[in-house]
């Protein structure tokens, strides 16, 4: 928990520092953010800019950060099966063939990423290939192909952009109100040091709530991807794959940039659970067992 919160705070500090520098430079050249329209435009550019750049470079970043080997010419029967299975599932889901890759990691895991449904990457860990049988691995691949088919990467980028914009605007609007109350509503051509302290604190608070909202969407989309994996590979195979995943206790060595799209999730309670990108495995298994057959069949868009 401490590691997660520390990472969150460090990330926000970096973002806030960059934001302050950019705003200071623009204000120096006569661009004012004193009115809400100017602030909203700037916040939207800044808020969506990072998310869209991250989305567009997601495949490249995933390959570099995991050291993934993209299978262009299968070297053995196992790689051939992996590529054939992903291509068959992609065709069934109505998307272009993703790139298929393997990355070196001890845990059972896989992830999908990419800027669009027709430009994506599906990668599995060496730990998954060692620990899972073909039926279980097929279900995991179906789960990842479903993430792509459902447009989850684009959706999460847009949600993060909206939340970033919300945090930037609301923290500064509320910051003006609080600063005005503290200073006795005195008018000033430029905000004082106290205003920036207030905004900094509000960025932290609203940013934490924004992260909770983003992770709620992420957990919801995991249930949909599980149902998609059940449609593409079979319900029993998907349940068996999730049960096998539970043996790793949610461990993941994936970089934070792609961890939300891995199939393996963490274990947590209270506040930590609100910041988890994946629901607990027992909830996912129970949801699959209780899902009507028609719901499972209709879980992957085409």
Catalytic residue annotation = 144
How many whole angstroms separate alpha carbon 81 and alpha carbon 32?
58
Lookup result for tokens 């054939």:
84
DSSP secondary structure, the chain, as one string: -HHHHHHHHHHHHHHHHHHHHHHHHHHHTT----SHHHHHHHHHHHHHHHHHHHHHTHHHHHHHHHT-EE-SS--SHHHHHHHHHHHHHHHHHT-PPPEEEEE--SSS-EEEEEEETTEEEEEEEHHHHHH--HHHHHHHHHHHHHHHHTTHHHHHHHHHHHHHHHHHHHHHHHHHHHHHHHTTS---SS--HHHHHHHHHHHHHHHHHHHHHHHHHHHHHHHHHHHHHHHHH-HHHHHHHHHHHGGGTT-----HHHHTTBS------THHHHT-SS--HHHHHHHHHHS-HHHHHT-S--
């Amino acid at each position: 928990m401490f590691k997660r919160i520390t990472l969150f705070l460090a990330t926000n500090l970096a973002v806030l520092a960059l934001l302050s520098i950019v705003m200071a430079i623009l204000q120096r050249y006569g661009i004012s953010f004193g009115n809400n329209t100017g602030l909203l435009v700037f916040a939207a550019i800044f808020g969506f800019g990072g998310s869209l750049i991250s989305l567009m470079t997601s495949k490249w970043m995933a390959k570099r950060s995991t050291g993934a080997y993209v299978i262009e010419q299968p070297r053995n029967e196992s790689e051939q099966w992996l590529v054939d299975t992903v291509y068959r599932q992609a065709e069934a889901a109505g998307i272009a063939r993703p790139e298929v890759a393997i990355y070196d990691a001890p845990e059972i895991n896989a992830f999908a990423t990419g800027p669009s449904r027709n430009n994506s990457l599906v990668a599995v860990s060496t730990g998954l290939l060692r620990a899972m049988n073909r039926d279980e691995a097929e279900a995991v691949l179906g789960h990842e192909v479903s993430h792509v088919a459902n447009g989850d990467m684009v959706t999460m980028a847009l949600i993060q952009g909206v939340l970033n914009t919300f945090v930037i605007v609301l923290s500064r609007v509320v910051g003006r109100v609080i600063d005005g109350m503290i200073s006795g509503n005195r008018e000033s051509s430029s905000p004082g040091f106290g205003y920036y302290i207030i905004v900094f604190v509000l960025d932290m608070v609203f940013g934490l709530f924004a992260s909770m909202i983003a992770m709620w969407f992420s957990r919801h989309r995991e249930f949909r991807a599980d149902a998609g994996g059940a449609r593409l590979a079979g319900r029993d195979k998907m349940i068996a794959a999730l049960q096998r995943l539970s043996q790793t206790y949610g461990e993941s060595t994936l970089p934070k940039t792609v961890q939300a799209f891995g199939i393996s999730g963490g274990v947590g309670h209270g506040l930590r659970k609100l910041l988890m990108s994946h629901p607990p495995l027992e909830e996912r298994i129970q949801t699959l067992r209780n899902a009507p057959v028609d719901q499972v069949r209709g879980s992957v868009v085409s």
